[in-house]
Chain A
Amino acid sequence: MTNDMINIVVEVMPHFEGYVYPNEATQQPLWGVLIVLYPYITGLVAWAFIMASLVRVFNVKALEPVYRLSLLTAFAFLLCAPLPLLFHLGHPERCFEVMMTPHLTSPMAIFGFVYAWYLMAVLLLELWFDYRRDFVTWSESTPGFKGLLYRLFTVGVTDVSAPAVQLDHKIGHILSVVGIPSAFLLHGYVGFIFGSVKANPWWGNVLMPIIFIMSAMVSGIALCVFNYMVLTWIRRKTVDMKCLDVMGMYLFYALVVDTAIEALDWIHRIYSAEEGFRVIQYMAREKLFYTLSLGQVACGTLVPLILLGLLQLARRRVPELARRRMYFVGASLILMGVLAMRWNVVIGGQLFSKSLRGVMGYKMEFAGLEGWFMGAVLLCLPFVVLTVMVKLFLAEHDQK
């Protein structure tokens, strides 16, 4: 009786076409929206940090107004980055095994170490050295709970003599230099998690880490543009157009490189047309039309390319207000496009059978761990954390 029931369920399930292995015939893909968010948030971290490094290491003075905001953005997003991973585990209570008894041939096992390195050794230290003098000043001038917090953050180090501050700067500079390859490592490795799966022709690709790094670069810069514009709007300040133009320039060139590499990936796939190509082609045409062709390519890449490209060509002829709007729209579209790209990689890679004979459907639920609601909450959480940090650590007078 039970078997009959299952037989009916398996056969009636409307969302399979062709043949899929019996273990693949589940209602939901194994890795859902949580795993879409994880590489997205990690990518934002890596390149928000590099935006800050541009000021510190490469001495791009124009970006100074967003220096601290970029650092705080990276920190807020890094704090939230492992949450989606943790929630999706079958046994989250065993998560520390990944660090206690890592299996070193696994790309996922390295995550714990790369993450800890980046959080503890790079970002946290850099923030502390950068803010140390301010903590001392603020702890003296701020009363109440907030003052107590600042005093706690000084960790008892209250020396703000000129040599001490100079040492802070020096260490901060070294940490920034170390942080740049670390950011590449953090996100390149995320790409490798997918790129190393040779069983899946959509993922198993040597370009995958590079594609992830490049798209992270684009989304990270776009997030800094977005956050900077929203923050100045909330604080009723004027946007520093020079800073915005420089960010827009970096965004445009990063987008050009990203588009070129992703195009190269597709050209290679189409030209070599390997075993899994037919099913990949079907996926791109049918199953992922909205997220790939519309979301990622048209809205997430081409429109921002045109908008930002126009601004590069004819910046002086476009009035400030229009320029601001174009940057804002471009950055928002890029943020959405990169999210679509993560969706296409993670969900797209699970919508066809490894028998290469069939495809599965996926309808996202609203409630539940892998639903819309949870996804939205986890996506908003870093912004909430960032708001608190901005309140605490980014005084209005800091922002020009």
Chain B
Amino acid sequence: MKNHLSRRSVIGRLSAAVAGVLAVPVAKAAKAVTQKVLVTTDAPKDYDPIKHKWVMAIDANRCIGCGFCAEACKKENHVPEGPYFRTWVERYIITKPKPGSGAARGETLVDCPNGGITGYPEAPVPKEEIQHSFFVPKLCNLCQHSPCVQVCPVGATFDAPDGAVLIDPKYCIGCGFCIQACPYGCRFLSPVTKTAEKCTLCYHRITRGLKPACVEVCPTQARIFGDLTNAKPEDPILQFYQNNLVTALKPHLGTEPRLFYAGIDKEVR
């Protein structure tokens, strides 16, 4: 019978399991160190990405569509003029159904002129025909399984250990594959640098203890930002998760966004 366990095999298996468990943090640390040494980011030298887990959340109920966030982002990150945005605010108008149509709702109209920076034109339907109207700020969805990272042919875009999805501009070859792969339209090819660009959560700010520009200027706290590794119970980000039922965009794609929304409709995608 080969079935009984010898001491040697038990010890062998146990030590293999322990080694496996120990190897995970070692590998993670090694990855972080390699990234720190080899990769160009805007973080200060003494910043340790392993000690943070940054995340953002959106409370759409609070958003008033002022567009300050999109404007602040453009200025803070020197985003090129024109149709290039790291964050933007969409306006949704859902009309009432036509009487007798048997439908629960009417049409869904979406617009976002100039990213919402310069305001919105008057609603295309009279006020009394509107069933719902709301604003939805959009930015990088901080996917756990980011398709953009998966497809980059040179690994110029990567998941930083602190939760940000970053691009090394000195390494990006400008093929545009990540832009095609992002389901949320959050990336663009900069006409200035000829490389892909996206929301970095204002990496140069958050690694120095500041909030991202969009969070800083939001007058209604519709954008909530926090560090899940170091959050105290009263931290706004934990309060947000505690107080809201949340959803993510395009969950069927399996990208597992870490950016959660509260107060959005099924029409948002």
Contact = CB atoms under 8 A, between A and B. Distances in A.
B153 A199 contact: no
Contact of A108 (B82, B115, B153): B153
Contacts of B117: 3
A98 B151 CA distance: 12
A97 B253 contact: no
B59 to A, nearest CB: 21
Interface string A1-35: 01110110111000000010111111000110000
Contacts of A317: none
Nearest to B114: A7
A26 B115 CA distance: 13
Interface residues of A, number: 49
Contact of B112 (A4, A9, A19, A196): A19
A23 B186 contact: yes
A353 B185 contact: yes
Interface in B116-173: 117-118, 138, 147, 150-155, 171-173
A356 B269 CA distance: 8
Interface stretch (B1-9, B176-184, B206-214): B176-184
A197 interface: yes
A90 B153 CA distance: 14
Q: How large is the interface on B (under 10, 10 to 19, 20 to 34, 35 or more residues)?
A: 35 or more
Contact of A97 (B112, B171, B185): B171
Contacts of B180: 30-31, 197, 199-200, 203, 350
Given A3-B117, A6-B114, A19-B112, A107 B151 contact: yes
B34 to A, nearest CB: 12
Contact of B194 (A90, A101, A193): A90
A221 B201 CA distance: 52
Interface in B60-85: 81-85
Contacts of B193: 90
Contacts of B84: 23
Contacts of B263: none
Nearest to A104: B155
B113 interface: yes
B269 to A, nearest CB: 6
30 contacts: A7-B114, A9-B82, A10-B113, A19-B111, A21-B88, A23-B185, A24-B83, A25-B83, A30-B179, A31-B180, A88-B175, A89-B174, A90-B193, A90-B194, A94-B172, A94-B173, A97-B173, A98-B153, A103-B152, A105-B150, A106-B153, A109-B153, A111-B153, A196-B151, A197-B147, A203-B180, A275-B252, A353-B185, A354-B185, A357-B110
A197 B253 CA distance: 11
B185 A10 contact: no
Interface of B: 81-85, 88, 90, 108-115, 117-118, 138, 147, 150-155, 171-177, 179-189, 193-195, 252-254, 269
A354 B269 CA distance: 9
Contacts of B177: 106, 108, 193
A90 B173 CA distance: 6
Contacts of A107: 151
Contacts of B151: 105-108, 196-197
Contacts of A353: 185
B267 to A, nearest CB: 9
A17 B81 CA distance: 22
A105 B83 CA distance: 30
Given A11-B113, A90-B194, A103-B152, 11 more contacts: A9-B82, A23-B84, A23-B185, A94-B173, A97-B173, A102-B153, A102-B155, A103-B154, A197-B151, A199-B182, A354-B182
B188 A90 contact: no
A363 interface: no
A172 to B, nearest CB: 33
Contacts of B83: 10, 22-26
